[in-house]
Amino acid sequence: MKVEVSRRRFLQGSVALTIAGGYAMSPSEIFASAKAKASAAGETGVKKVATLCEMCVNKCAAFAYVENGIVTKLDPNPYFPKSRNMLCPRGNAGVQALYDPDRLKYPLIRDGEKGSGKFKRVSWEEAYKYIGDKLAKILDEEEDNRSTVAFCAGEGMGEHTFKNFFTGFGSSHFLNHASLCLATTVSGYALTIGGYGQADLENADYVVMAGANRAEAIVTPDTMDFFKRTMGRGAKLVVVDPRFTHTAAKSDKWLGIKVGTDLAFVLALTYVAIKEEIYNKEFVANSFNNFEEYKNHILDNEYTPEWAEKITGIPASEIYAVAREFMAHAPRSIYYQGRRTTWSKNDFQLRRAQAIFSALGGGVDVKGGIVFGGNIPLIGHDVPGPIYDQAKSRIDKDEAAVVGGSGTWVGFRNMVLEGRAPYPIRALFNYKHNPMSNMPNSQKTAEFLKKLDLVVTIDTMPSDTVMLSDVVLPECTYLERTDPVKAFGGIEPAVVQRNKVVEPLFETKPVIEIMKGLSETVSKQLFEITKKYDEEVQAAIEEDGEESVYEDFDLTKAFHETQEELNHHAVSKYEGAADILHEKGVFYPDMDKYFKKVGVNDYVYYPENKKYYSVRNGKFNTPSGKIECKIDSLTTRGIDAMPAWKDEDYKVIPDGKFNFITGRHAQFTQSGSSNNKLLLNLVPTNYAWINKRVAVERGIKFGDLIEVTSKVGKTTIRAYPTEKIGKDTLFFIHGFGNASQELSLAHNNGGNDANILEDIIEPMHGASCLHETIVEIRKV
Amino acid sequence: MARYGMALDYKNCINCRACESACKQENSILLNKDHYRIWVGVKEIEGEWPNLSIASSVFHPSQCQHCDNAPCQLVCPTNATYYDQNGVVRVNPEQCILCTYCINACPYDARYVDDRTTTVDKCNFCADTRIARGESTTACQATCPTKVRIFGDLDDPNSEISQVLSKREYKQVKESLGTKPKLFYLI
């Protein structure tokens, strides 16, 4: 019987993924499969399951309604203080992610040229064995240098589980979204005020959002807290952005800034605060380190509003006004940190300057300012972290001043491509991550993926990266799995758990089961290679015997317990927490006492006096315990100790060309939701924003197709002429224009920014600068 | 028996369209072009970059106004459009003959032809879905990130909507037409 099945698969031969993976399936067939699964599991009637959304990174709490085994609706779950009883449009569209007919359904192995889209369906065991054999061959050739295999992951609750495999495997290379997203902001604030913190937008009186777009790029609870209070209802909002965003529409003042000049704006605000001595003198005296030097630096360099006006395009009078109003409202004033932030090469210094300016008002670790909040500690579990003597250190460690545990993705990729790596990088494990779409210069990413001997991708959808993989392991969607329980710190901390709503469809599995299955197949096989090359291991075996030494190298150890068991253990010090998390999805100490419904839309999570606003007692989490104006230790690595404007920060946009910028809106989360039927019904495609007057000059009308070309590539997109953008700037939403033909709705839909973005990295963390690309356009 | 209405704190609206998304999912609206029961009205911004009028950029969430004196009900030749016991303007698919008089009569442009039920469909305050199940909120209200909507019984003086309307100023859309809409935009 088994032979026959294999033969039938063999006869199907090299057919396109469409056939091999059963992609031609209609939605009704998907529902039929779902019903079959449900009846097998004996599910009838209606049930309500507490889950957590995974349509973006916020992890809002939801209840899923399941009727006869089919998820029919997702509703907001009011218990989670962070998500405040809401689901955004993407959250509501989670059902479509579950029942998307284009989903990855079975394990696949490439069966044609890389990128040809040809795969054959295999069993899980076949896939694991294929990976094991390939890894064994590579590691044998590389003499057990585990770092020849790299691991990358997208943001998500399963990243932790995937990382446990990485830790056991022993590679130095982990790469994730940080260097494509917020690495500079997180470290800019952390090294300056001792943490990225949380902007207390429920209580701030004055907020500057520069580049951040909380009305469209929703962040919880910031978005929900803040826009109830804007427009003359408690909080003043200044938006500084080259585009007039939905956030700008809610502002008291919008300042259209020239792209990449924010640092000059912040330095000039600082100048006004210092020169006019309107900063919080008591706070500065008690809590600033090296203030005098910073003060002299700002004044001596004459970072005046008049100077900044020439660079930023923002009138000096507006800069004076913002600085004065900010300090007048301080300490309940915030220069908002922002999220996806690496725009220009000076981004780290920009974030440092923001943090220092914000702190000059004293709005750190106080209500209405940037706060650090409380936490609810969970019990961890041990995973083996064996040491492999032959594993070499990161190849990208010198690509920037500080390359942390998540690497510089672009730097890493480019080193491999340019042959600058000190040893070969031969394989990549990729979890829930789509480098083809999320990394600038997709041509290079394609070349990089093609160059590797083995690319294993674990995902739910046939993304552009899946199409360039050698082995595809289909994960189930978030509604089909229980994920690691997680504590969210903050003003109102809580523990949350994503509970499995329905059984996984098709042959998909949660990542924990995938890693368990893979470990069971490859662990011993790979240890044999270690035995062959690792002298430390050889010596240890001689001394203690192989069985005892293997214990430390046993990759399966991290996956002995189920996710449910791990979660139960993690919260075991809180009585009843595991059951509450199962039922309500949310737990925090005294929740039963504190949680109250106080209106049709309103809930209280913590009494005011139990909220965690001030937690530092005047000692910040920095080396000096104070706000760091000057970080001398960075200078040895070529990074300025204090934020300064450099001549190279000036950028000239040649006549007739545009500075390209990218971003998000509320209906899509990057490429991960680009094939979602409900969301595409709301917004069918992305459009290129081009200034209306420029469009008229060039004869471009709404909906006209234009070709956007940069130094590295081109893309085609429809035009949206508008006055919401300046004459020398072009913008479109990230995540569209997917190349994968297996995404039936997203394929070739709109423009792809990864094709045109130049792969420029900044010097601090090697984070990718997303607003440095100059483009030309042509009507087609 | 109730008299359902909705107050909208429309200044909270960020035009994220969670309401539209939740409405479609809750009420099984076909994902076709022009099939929507609720929407957010936007206008082209006034001015030239960088001198733009923030005031001209308003997000106006809207849907059927559930008029007490509904023009769509008046013109319906088959009585397919009716007021239910809670004052909600409803459509009976069995009786609708797709004459589309209601589409023309509605001053709020709240109706569309639904290809699934071949009915001139519109918002019904989730009467046959959530409210029928015993929920107290509509899908659009429940899901809203910034909590624009308050749905409730206008005849109950203790309901939150009655309390809010007694304390805060509001405006109604095209009130002068005598439609007596039951959507209230809080100022």
Q: For residue range A262-317, list pLDDT tens digits in order.
A: 999 999 999 999 999 999 999 999 999 999 999 999 999 999 999 999 999 999 99
Q: Does A353 touch chain B (CB under 8 A)?
A: no
A73 and B141 in contact by Cβ < 8 A? no
Instruction: For residue A507, count other CB atoms closer than 10 A to its CB.
Output: 15
A247-271 CB burial, b ≥16 within 10 A, e <16: bbbbbbbbbbbbbbbbbbbbbbbbb
Nearby residues of B125 by Cβ (< 8 Å), 6 or more positions away? B4, B6, B66, B86, B88, B131, B138, B151
Please tell me which residue of chain A has the smallest CA distance to B137: A600
Single-letter residue type at A670: Q
- How far A362 CA sits from the closest chain B CA (Å)? 29
- Specify burial of residue A535 (Cβ count, 10 A radius: 0-12, 13-18, 19+): exposed
Q: Dihedrals φ, ψ of A349, to 5°?
A: -70, -35
Single-letter residue type at A713: G
A256 and B50 in contact by Cβ < 8 A? yes
Q: For residue range B144-162, list pLDDT tens digits in order.
A: 999 999 999 999 999 999 9
Question: Which DSSP helix (H) or strand (E) runs through A254?
Answer: strand A253-255
Contact of A99 with A526, CB cutoff 8 Å: no
A102-117 CB burial, b ≥16 within 10 A, e <16: bbbbbbbbbbeebeeb
Tokens of A671: 């490429």
In angstroms, rounded to a whole number, what is the distance separating the alpha carbons of residues A377 and A42?
A: 37
Q: For residue range A387-429, list pLDDT tens digits in order.
A: 999 999 999 999 999 999 999 999 999 999 999 999 999 999 9
Domain containing B24: what range? Answer: 4-186
Domain boundaries, chain A: 123-181+387-475+510-565, 198-371+624-637, 654-779
Fill in the DSSP letter of residue A432. Answer: S
Q: Does A479 touch chain B (CB under 8 A)?
A: no
Residue A26: predicted pLDDT: 63
Given a cut of 60, is residue A22 above it in pLDDT? no
Q: Dihedrals φ, ψ of A241, to 5°?
A: -160, 140
Tokens of A119: 């795969």
A228 and B142 in contact by Cβ < 8 A? no
Q: What share of chain B is helix, strand, coil (3-state, %, to 5)?
A: 20, 20, 60
Q: For residue range A66-96, list pLDDT tens digits in order.
A: 999 999 999 999 999 999 999 999 999 999 9
| Cis geometry, peptide bond prior to residue B157 (ω within 30 degrees of 0) | no
Fill in the DSSP letter of residue A153. Answer: E
Quick one: which of A746, A129, A179, A756 has its CA closest to A442? A756
A618-642 CB burial, b ≥16 within 10 A, e <16: eebebeeebbbbbbeebeeeebbbb
B17 and A681 in contact by Cβ < 8 A? no
- How far B180 CA sits from the closest chain A CA (Å)? 24
Confidence of residue B1 (pLDDT cuts 50, 70, 90): confident
Q: Does domain A654-779 have CATH number 2.40.40.20?
A: yes
A681 and B146 in contact by Cβ < 8 A? no
Quick one: which of B126, B1, B3 has its CA closest to B63? B126
Q: Domain A123-181+387-475+510-565 adopts which CATH fold? A: Rossmann fold (3.40.50)
A600 and B24 in contact by Cβ < 8 A? no
Contact of A558 with A168, CB cutoff 8 Å: yes
In chain B, the largest separation of any two C-alpha atoms, in whole Å, equals 54
A249 and B47 in contact by Cβ < 8 A? no
Percent of chain B at pLDDT above 70? 100
A724 and B147 in contact by Cβ < 8 A? no
Please tell me which residue of chain A has the smallest CA distance to B25: A73
Given a cut of 90, is residue A27 above it in pLDDT? no
Q: What CATH number is associated with residue B104?
A: 3.30.70.20
- How far B169 CA sits from the closest chain A CA (Å)? 14
Q: For residue range A476-500, list pLDDT tens digits in order.
A: 999 999 999 999 999 999 999 999 9
Confidence of residue A43 (pLDDT cuts 50, 70, 90): low
Given a cut of 50, is residue A335 above it in pLDDT? yes
Give chain A's mean pLDDT: 94
Name the class of domain A198-371+624-637: alpha beta
Question: What is the torsion angle, in degrees rounded to the nearest 10, for the CA atoms of residue A720, residue A725, residue A727 and residue A731?
Answer: -60
Confidence of residue A173 (pLDDT cuts 50, 70, 90): very high
Question: How many angstroms from the chain centroid is the CA of residue A497?
Answer: 20
Confidence of residue A32 (pLDDT cuts 50, 70, 90): confident
Q: List the single residue in B21, B141, B150 with the smallest CB-CB distance to A89.
A: B21
Fill in the DSSP letter of residue A634. Answer: G
pTM of the model: 0.95
Residue A14: predicted pLDDT: 33
Chain A residues within an 8 Å CB radius of B147: 86, 224, 228, 601-602
Q: Does A393 touch chain B (CB under 8 A)?
A: no
Quick one: which of A533, A535, A555, A545 has its CA closest to A384? A555
Percent of chain A at pLDDT above 70? 96
Question: Which DSSP helix (H) or strand (E) runs through A281?
Answer: helix A281-287
Residue A45: predicted pLDDT: 82
Q: For residue range A106-135, list pLDDT tens digits in order.
A: 999 999 999 999 999 999 999 999 999 999
Chain A residues within an 8 Å CB radius of B54: 248-249, 251-252, 254
Residues of B at the A interface (Cβ-Cβ below 8 Å)? 9, 11-12, 14-18, 20-22, 24-26, 31-32, 45, 47-50, 52, 54, 57-59, 136-137, 141-147, 149-152, 160-161
Q: For residue range A629-686, list pLDDT tens digits in order.
A: 999 999 999 999 999 999 888 888 999 999 999 999 999 998 999 999 999 999 999 9
Sign of CA dihedral A279, A285, A286, A290: positive
**Strand stretches in A550-605, DSSP E:** 586-587, 596-597, 603-604
Indicate the angle between helix axes A262-275 and A305-312, nearest 10 degrees. 170
In angstroms, rounded to a whole number, what is the distance separating the alpha carbons of residues A95 and A282?
A: 53
Q: Edge to edge, what strands does the sheet with A61-67 contain? A: A46-52, A61-67, A70-76
Given a cut of 60, is residue B178 above it in pLDDT? yes
Question: In the predicted model, what is the mean pLDDT of residues A717-744?
Answer: 97
Q: For residue range A342-356, list pLDDT tens digits in order.
A: 999 999 999 999 999
Q: Does A248 touch chain B (CB under 8 A)?
A: yes
A86 and B144 in contact by Cβ < 8 A? yes
Question: In the predicted model, what is the mean pLDDT of residues B82-97?
Answer: 97
Please tell me which residue of chain B has the smallest CA distance to A76: B143
A218 and B145 in contact by Cβ < 8 A? yes
B18 and A693 in contact by Cβ < 8 A? no
Confidence of residue A165 (pLDDT cuts 50, 70, 90): very high
Q: List the single residue in B9, B18, B32 with the smallest CB-CB distance to A88.
A: B18
- How far B101 CA sits from the closest chain A CA (Å)? 27
- Specify burial of residue B16 (Cβ count, 10 A radius: 0-12, 13-18, 19+): buried
Q: Dihedrals φ, ψ of A749, to 5°?
A: -95, 100
- Specify burial of residue A1 (Cβ count, 10 A radius: 0-12, 13-18, 19+): exposed
